Chains A and B, each alone.
Chain A
Amino acid sequence: MLEEPTSNEAGLEVVAPGGARRFVRITESPFFIGRGGETAKHLQLADPRISRSCAAILVEAQRHVLEDRGQRHGIFVNGEKIARRVLDDGDVVTFGVENFYELKYCASTLDSSITDVLSRIEHLTTSDPASGGGLHKLNVLLEATALLHSRLPLESVLGTMLDHAITVTDADRGLLLEADSAGGLQVRLARQSGGRHLAAENLTPSQTAIRMALDRHSSVITEDLAQAVPDLQVAVSIVAQRLRAVVVIPLYTMPQHNSMESTSHGRHGDFLGVVYLDSRRPAAFSKLDRRILDALASEAASILDNARLVERERERKRLEQELGIARDIQQALLPRGFRDFPHMTVSGTNIPCLTVGGDYFDVFPMDNGRTAFLIADVSGKGLGAALLTTMLQGALTGMSIGADPARVFAHINRFLCEHAEVGRYATMFFGILDRDGSLEFINAGHPSPFLLCEDGICEPFSEGSFPVGLVDGAEYTVARHQLRPGDTMILFSDGVTEAMDPADDMFGVERFRDALGGLRSAPLEQLQRVVLDGVQRFTRGAAQADDITVLLVRYGASQAS
């Protein structure tokens, strides 16, 4: 097997039985894990219960695959025994023995400098359990990370925070519950002492204790409960947990200085969630200094808050990326480089007002030397409208294989009325120009294109029907017009005529006509420039409110036009 360096910056978080952690990057494929010698050259776990050749991680199709290479007690991923398994971010690998190493797969590692800092912080925390200093440093690190937009594994950070809370209070187990948008609490993370993973189902938090902590806006321990609820039988869940001791720490954001809400909540901000800790020893928390709980509350809240900010930022970036892909797809739909057809020249441009838009145009050859061209404007804007443009383009290709335009439009109309969201439709102008200048066209609810001819500028293409996707059973008819050599058609979407200036005045049809005056013979690129500049000058910097599309078609009997 060839050994090659992996380009993927993934790694393993190695958690030792005592709780100590380190990051190990998966630097090569195959990456060997074992007890000693060659088969442990990348990660050595020195323990007799590990087989000499234990496991290996390989790169396959850009993913990491874990293989059992002879571990006596089996290799487990998230508790399930495996022979071979593709690893996902967050997967936990164990070796079939109790109190042993645990490996957590991270699909991307931190910068090595951040990794080092994290391990140093870990050392600080475990060596000085009463101090909130280590946690504070972790918090500062998280803020810096958010600023750097680096790929920090959030679950690791939150896990470290919870582990710290468990250590400081000498608890057995801990839960991090996060407030959800519906006003409930969801379990985000569960840990047990020693920095170990815990299956969340093993711990049912006491609702009584949580409610009390939220009512008081402050930490609650078992003794508080006992005082408040003299008959312990009533606190059913505590009995069910066999009288475990409990600490509940509610987490709030820092209150905004000028906010009205801060007066009703006292000195608290928004509710973030709860750190919930328990212990088998009934008096485990009775000697806890309240100040420690308060320090935990404020640091943990800050970490959780920052973690949520980082998450939101990442989600925003992901969406931005997806939109970018959609934009590339949409741009690819448009005709690239207008080849000259024998009897016409064409120029066009499309400027969506968001990343993707609801306008599109197309030009394609038909049979018998005829050429088709069209402009379409889907209602609305953004992704919803953009998706329809791709649907339309697909449906209209039926035209180039000889289908009758009126029937294709009727078909599209039926399809949209049935399948698109109610109220989603498109206006379209579709034309077929023959070599002799005869034009057949269908106007589906679209503003008539301008015609620049010897006699001036007119709008002779109003005859038509409904938009597609609006009226069930609509029928579409083909109308006709004769073009003369040199005649230029200007198709546009209403983003042009309805472009608004800062005073909310519209560009309008009149200004559009005026801008085109005397330009019948100008090169198409110049005409196009004049239109776009005209709109831009008029709107004087006001934000673009709708997609703008222009398509120019000039009929010329000779190449010279």
Chain B
Amino acid sequence: MALKMTVRDEGGVTVLALDGRMVLGEATTAFREKVRSLLAEGKVKIVLNLENVTEIDSSGLGAFVASHRSAASEGASMRLCHLGAKFKEVLQITKLLTVFDVSDTEEEAVRAISR
């Protein structure tokens, strides 16, 4: 599969690390499923680590927004880190930088979400 996902616990914060291509198809479906199941397990602090994501297409962006919405509706917080220059630019053009909570590194994201 194009996308690998690993879940870690960092002091009560769930870190979901993504590895590969977040593109139309299995990857976006699997990602949304994963977030849904994390929320169903009662996780309320989720950090998405995009350091090893090589590509995000329009469907990938849609998946991130949809997951963000799901988290918000469950009363959970979600934060993105290690965005990469290209994805940051896409978020700028689509004005979505204001919608997501973003940190540069995982450590900062975990700290910020724990406050």
A: residues with CB less than 8 A from B are: 377, 379-381, 422-425, 427, 445-448, 462, 464-467, 470-472, 546
Contacts and interface: CB of A to CB of B under 8 A. Distances in A.
Nearest to B99: A471
Interface stretch (B2-10, B54-62, B76-84): B54-62
B93 A470 contact: no
A502 to B, nearest CB: 16
Contact of B62 (A381, A423, A448, A546): A423
B103 interface: no
Contacts of A377: 58
A422 B66 contact: yes
B48 to A, nearest CB: 15
A462 B93 CA distance: 7
Contacts of B95: 445, 464-466
- Scoring A377, A447, A465, A471 by chain B CB atoms within 10 A of each residue's CB, the highest score goes to A471
A422 B64 CA distance: 11
Interface residues on B, range: 10 to 19
14 contacts: A379-B58, A380-B58, A422-B32, A422-B62, A422-B66, A423-B65, A423-B66, A425-B62, A425-B65, A445-B93, A445-B95, A446-B93, A465-B95, A470-B65
B93 A381 contact: no
Contacts of B24: 380-381
A445 B96 contact: yes
A99 to B, nearest CB: 57
A119 B61 CA distance: 61
A331 to B, nearest CB: 22
B110 interface: no
A112 B32 CA distance: 56
A419 to B, nearest CB: 15
Contacts of A446: 93
- Decide if the interface of chain A is mainly helix, strand, loop or mixed: loop
B49 interface: no
A235 B2 CA distance: 49
A410 to B, nearest CB: 15
Given A380-B24, A381-B24, A423-B28, A466 B96 contact: yes
Most interface-central of A446, A462, A466, A546 (chain B CB within 10 A): A466
Given A422-B62, A423-B59, A424-B62, 11 more contacts: A380-B24, A380-B58, A381-B24, A422-B32, A423-B62, A423-B66, A425-B62, A445-B93, A448-B93, A464-B95, A471-B99
Contacts of B94: 427, 445, 466-467, 470
B59 A379 contact: yes
A470 B59 contact: no
Contact of B59 (A380, A445, A466): A380
Contacts of A467: 94
B93 A423 contact: no
B96 A423 contact: no
Contact of A470 (B28, B32, B57, B96): B96
B18 interface: no
Contacts of A379: 58-59, 61-62
B63 interface: yes
Nearest to B54: A504
Contacts of A381: 24
A448 B95 CA distance: 12
Contacts of A422: 32, 62, 66
